[in-house]
Amino acid sequence: MKNIHTTVLKKEAVEALEIKPNGIYIDATFGFGGHTGEILNKKDFTGHVIGIEVDKEIYKNAKSKFGAYKNLSLYNRNFFDVADILLSNDIGKVDGIVFDLGTNLYQIKESGRGFSFLKNEPLDMRLDLDKDFTAEKVVNSYTRERLEEVLKNVDERFARVIAKKITEVRRKKRIETTDDLAAIVRSVKAQHGKTNPATLTFMALRIEVNEEFKNLEKALENSLKVLKSGGRLVVISFHSGEDRIVKNFLREKNKQGILKIINKKVIMPGRSEQIENRLSRSAKMRVAEVI
């Protein structure tokens, strides 16, 4: 498996963790191991990294690529399982956790699961292939009202008209492919600038299929169960819905005296990173520390 994914805010995220030479850290969205590699290759690092990856294909690749590292443990689980993983493996509390909520570029371009409108593929969009709930089931079975809610989760201004059109089309023919769905969106939403009209619709369906908002809320809560006092929580989000969840969580825990917010303003990629990696432009990083 060729690594075509570029880790966003790699150095900034690892710096925010304030790595201790003998610390224990969790890379809760392992992917191709960008953040983990940055930690493991730090001079004098003798600690341990726990990597979590929900996608079986990417997990198998990670096991092969990082198999030689004795101070790395990899788990094929969802990131909200973080507390269960530590408990079931008799691992104590950790010094830091990083969540990178971006979709892996491999999944978009090479997985064949319909994450993108750039290729005509089945409407799947599952990260966890053990589940049978797909994007095809969403677009062909949800009511118009529920489809509208799903689209509004990513601030799609055309949510109502897109949901209405989907329900109209599926009465005549089942919506099965990415081309089918992209054509429906384009029929009711014009393109402005370089952004494809179907971008938010595809994002909304991916989030719905994988319960990303719900899982993020659980993962953030569970992270507090495993972080030591002084431990760092680093979260990189890529759209407003995710960032709202993270921001509200940190604010609430700050009010409760559980977390100290480290960066009052979000950290974003610098100009050079945005030029080199166009997909990094929407990234926002928030950092907090357990009191």
Residue 2 in this model has a pLDDT that exceeds 70: no
93 and 138 together in one domain: no
Quick: pLDDT tens for 6-51: 788 999 999 999 999 999 999 999 999 999 999 999 999 999 999 9
The β-bridge partners of 51 are 27, 74
* Distance (Å, whole) CA 165 – CA 170: 9
Q: Using alpha carbons, select from 240, 254, 248 the residue that is nearest to residue 284.
A: 240
Give the number of residues written for the chain: 291
152 and 226 together in one domain: no
34 and 164 together in one domain: no
Instruction: Indicate the residue among 177, 209, 241 that finishes a domain.
Output: 209
38 and 163 together in one domain: no
Instruction: Indicate the residue among 153, 180, 209 that finishes a domain.
Output: 209
Q: Which CATH number belongs to the domain containing residue 280 in this structure?
A: 3.40.50.150
pLDDT category of residue 60 using cuts at 50, 70 and 90: very high
pLDDT for 6:
79
Percentage of the chain beyond pLDDT 90 is 80
Structural domains of the chain, count:
2
Token couple for 21: 């030479």
88 and 50 together in one domain: yes
Provide the b/e sequence for 229-259 (b: ≥16 CB within 10 Å). Answer: eebbbbbbbbbebbbebbbebbeebeeeeeb
217 and 193 together in one domain: no
98 and 14 together in one domain: yes
Range of the domain at 263: 10-106+212-290
pLDDT category of residue 194 using cuts at 50, 70 and 90: confident
Quick: pLDDT tens for 250-291: 999 999 999 999 998 999 988 888 888 777 888 999 999 999
The contacts of residue 168 (CB under 8 Å, 6+ apart) are none
Instruction: Indicate the residue among 193, 209, 225 that finishes a domain.
Output: 209
73 and 86 together in one domain: yes
Domain assignment present for residue 232? The answer is yes
Q: Give the chain's count of helices (H) and strands (E).
A: 13, 7
25 and 102 together in one domain: yes
Residue 76 in this model has a pLDDT that exceeds 90: yes
Domain assignment present for residue 118? The answer is no
Domain assignment present for residue 120? The answer is no
Q: In terms of DSSP H, where are the helices of 5-89? A: 10-17, 34-40, 56-65, 82-88
Q: Which CATH number belongs to the domain containing residue 160 in this structure?
A: 1.10.150.170
Domain assignment present for residue 5? The answer is no
Residue 136 in this model has a pLDDT that exceeds 90: yes
What is the mean pLDDT of the segment spanning 152-168? 96
155 and 181 together in one domain: yes
